[in-house]
Amino acid sequence: MSSPAPLQTFARPLPLTRPCSNWAGWGQWLALITMTLDHLARYVAPEAWQVSWLGSSVGRIAFPLFAGMVAWHACFNTRDPLRYARRILVIGLVAQLPYMLMPRSSDALIINICFTLSLGLVGGVWLSKLGQRLRQKRARIWRLGAEVTAAVIVWWLAGSLTEYGHLGLLLIPSYMVAMQHLHGSDMSRSRITIAALSCVPVLIISGLMNTSLMAKSFTLGTCAVVLLLTAGLHRHIPTVVIPMPRRLWLSWYPGHFAAIALWLFIISRM
């Protein structure tokens, strides 16, 4: 889920003033730690330990943080967000088998979070290009209707298969819209109003994603912090003390599921 090197296959100019991405270095550690704690509490820890509260608290930080970092890199750090989406998809394909070995209350097929992030990024890219065409008045009505219809159908079908469902697929596109309006030097009243309104879908989606008040609070709070970082807080974040090793970042998601699956297999044989 790291940002790929720029390519020319998706020619899109980067912002003239690119924001500082120091916060993403801290975000990588926080996302991996909170995700791992959530999965250990859910799949490994015995019920007698009573640590299920981890999944409803710090465990709800990981997904909105991953989504925020993906949207950030897509908006500010790569010229080829579609290639970025493909790389996330590859991680998801590698992780799917160990992910399917996790204990579940239902036999329904669910594909892991990397598919949610990858499809969400593709949706965000499509939405951004659609907005550009509308502003340039290059979108024909019939083609616009066909694209929107197809996008809604894909979103509806994919939402029943992906982790975090329909709302999860909408988080990255809404992040990207908000980030494009929050970042910039024009602080006119109209721009501030538009930027504030662009944050509303992110906050609504994050507030609807969970059922318990605690889980809602952690998810909503994480999204709010990401938006504040985009609005200017990013300038005050120092460089991470210990950068995340790239191989660890790319391998941890499938690797930790494989380790959990192996542990569950061993204790089932004891």
**How far apart, in Å, are the Cα atoms of 34 and each of 62, 92, 178, 239, 254?**
6, 19, 25, 20, 16
User: What is the pTM assigned to this prediction?
Assistant: 0.90
Q: Which of 232, 229, 233, 169 is nearest to 201 (CA)?
A: 169
Q: Identify the band that residue 145 occupies on the pLDDT scale cut at 50, 70 and 90.
A: confident
Q: Which of 253, 227, 10 is nearest to 113 (CA)?
A: 253
Tell me the three-class secondary structure of 38-67, residue by residue: HHHHHHHCCHHHCCHHHCCCHHHCHHHHHH
Tell me the C-alpha distance between 53 and 204, whole Å.
23
Least confident of 44-53, 136-145, 213-222: 136-145
Tell me the C-alpha distance between 124 and 171, whole Å.
9
Q: What is the mean pLDDT of residues 98-122?
A: 92
Tell me the C-alpha distance between 67 and 163, whole Å.
13
Look at residue 204 and give its three-state secondary structure: helix
Q: Identify the band that residue 141 occupies on the pLDDT scale cut at 50, 70 and 90.
A: confident
**How far apart, in Å, are the Cα atoms of 133 and each of 71, 127, 182?**
20, 10, 21
| Domain residue spans of the chain | 22-268
Per the structure block, which two tokens stand in for 110? 């669910």
- Residue 47's contacts (CB-CB under 8 Å, 6 or more residues apart) are none
- Residue 23's contacts (CB-CB under 8 Å, 6 or more residues apart) are 229, 233, 234, 237
Tell me the C-alpha distance between 150 and 84, whole Å.
22
Q: What is the pLDDT of residues 157-192, one digit of tens each?
A: 999 999 999 999 999 999 999 999 998 756 677 888
Least confident of 46-50, 146-150, 201-205, 232-236: 46-50
Q: What is the mean pLDDT of residues 55-80?
A: 94
Q: What are phi and psi of 111, to 5 degrees?
A: -100, 150
Q: Identify the band that residue 40 occupies on the pLDDT scale cut at 50, 70 and 90.
A: very high
Least confident of 82-96, 160-174, 188-202: 188-202
Q: Strand locations in the chain, DSSP E?
A: none
Q: What is the pLDDT of residues 206-245, one digit of tens each?
A: 999 988 999 999 999 999 999 999 999 999 999 999 999 9
Give the DSSP letter of residue 225. H
Q: Which residue has the higher pLDDT, 8 or 162?
A: 162
Tell me the C-alpha distance between 200 and 221, whole Å.
13
Residue 139 has pLDDT above 70, yes or no: no
Identity of residue 225: V
Instruction: Determine how many CB atoms are found less than 10 A away from the CB of residue 18.
Output: 11
